[in-house]
Structure 1
Amino acid sequence: MSSVMFPPRSPPGSSGCGSGDIPAASVTTQSAEQALFASDRYARLILAQMNKMRLRTDFCDVRLRLGGRVFSVHKLVLAASSPYFSALFSGGMSEADKEEVQILGVEAPVFEVLLEFIYTGMINVTVENMQELMVAADMLQLSEVVSICGEFLKGHMDPSNCVGVYQFLEQIVLLMVSFFLHLCLSVCVSDEFWGLSKDQLVKLLRSEELRIEDEYQVFTAAMDWVLQDVTKRKKHVVEVLDPVRFPLLSPQRLFKYIEGMSDFSLRVALQTLLREYTEVSKSPKENKMYSLLQPAKMRPRRKARKYLYAIGRLTSVQHLATFI
């Protein structure tokens, strides 16, 4: 990844973040007979105590390996801090029950800085580490650190480095697209996935690199996005389903899905769409729509599990199924 050069800047003035400046508690609501207090100091003390436990490896329940270094951590703390770790440690992932998990794509010194932030809420951003921190934080879904790095970046941008900043941000976009494609199934159940625009979703779902079990997961990902805000998004259903390779799907499975659809207009749209593809599968050579089907839609994606497909029918050869 290219490096962005920053001119030296004067250090900002003190913001008064020392522990002595934190009041014992602040009143959030008050009446003549009672008052509700919120203690910022208590939250800070709890964080400090959890960090001490981490450093002593007290109550740590998983080890994270990055290169040659191993970090003992608490699953609960990391899962509460990041959707990435929440998905990693959930019951649906193979890493959920492992005592040691390997984290790829992040250097150990960078992860150490991020881990310090998770347990303390404080992070030291410099012109030397900003780029690596921002990329790693985005990958690990530490949105607060990404925002901090973004503010740091804006404060240090000038005509001498704006082109480098532009190139750096483009590289981050490419890296994050690659990350999404690799961990598609985990990302598709996150709040950030629901926030994608229609065009962003379609672009991602078109990719040959989606690491999926079968094409039905692409269909359900698209539909889950629509159903997240069905009133506004159902008008886009044909567009967001366009990347789905319907010839690889079982019509019976799709009909069963459609039967459970509560929105009438959406159910009709899906029935019409499925009927068109079903007609193609019955008599592809005679059907006028056959010529409109792209060859790419007739074969599995490169990173999907390997299957034997027939148009309109799916036969899985389990003993041959391996990741590409």
Structure 2
Amino acid sequence: MSTPSDPDDGRFDPGLSAIVSERRQLINLAYRMLGSLADAEDVVQETYARWYAMSRRQREAIESPGAWFTTVASRICLDLLGSARARRERYVGEWIPEPLPDRREWGDGRPGGMTADPADRVTLDESVNMAFLVVLDAMAPAERVAFILHDVFRYSFAEVAEIVGRTPAACRQLAWLARRRIRASQPPAAPAARQAGIVRDFKRAWQAKDIDALIGLLDPDATGTADGGGLVSAMLRPLEGGERIARAFVTVAGLEPGLTILERTVNGQPGLVAQQDGVTVVVLAFDVVGERIKRIWSVLNPDKLRPWTTG
């Protein structure tokens, strides 16, 4: 929030320091809950708006502004998750969480060139990798919020209960259910160096249109999912099978000969970005299990590619 003083009297707002210190935490929290950087930013702005809608006396009576911000932001996310289910039912094709870049790969050395982007304020760890976010997206809203608050951000179940409006015992059960879902759906990931090598080999095979090499890199039961947000060129349903996915990528390479494919970090893991005339047109996230690619998520929706704009 850029307003440093109370609109009522113009004096310095003692709560401003709390707002500034909590902003990164709130962005991290909201992105994990919603899977959308744009929605996370909206949540933070709405949280600030509610803070400044109170009188100075009301704000000064709050013992822990940080706890207040977390509670309000989490409740806004909980409401948004409920309405998001209805929106997803009307979404054209598959919905994939918004991919996050690692801005250190984009910087050009100019002071302040990219540090204002909210993507800079999202900590890239295992709780934002695409496989993790996809599992979270399948959970009920209260289950997702309880799990993220407790397991990722280490809030006690008593604190979680106050936020989600359930008993501590109920929140403990929700987090346990979420934990079980994640364990069941996520086999141990390959080491980062191995993932990077396999993704690099995939890039080379894709550029060479080497279908046999692509098939060799893909698990026979691999799944390819594309999110085009209604784009005619995007797949409306996931592709099943390594050979089908390999043939689809070779077809794309033949239809779009001008694609430039770059190795980039996507949600904290090795991924690929395809550009056409300098514009990012697709971001690819990979799930590598053992020596093979098990899942590929292709984001083509232009609204979700805005953080990947380098200009």
Q: Name whichever structure is richer in strand by fraction.
A: 2
Mark the structure with the bigger radius of gyration: 1
The answer to which structure, 1 or 2, has the higher relative contact order (CA under 8 A, 6+ apart) is 2
User: Normalization by structure 1: what TM-score?
Assistant: 0.29
User: Normalization by structure 2: what TM-score?
Assistant: 0.30
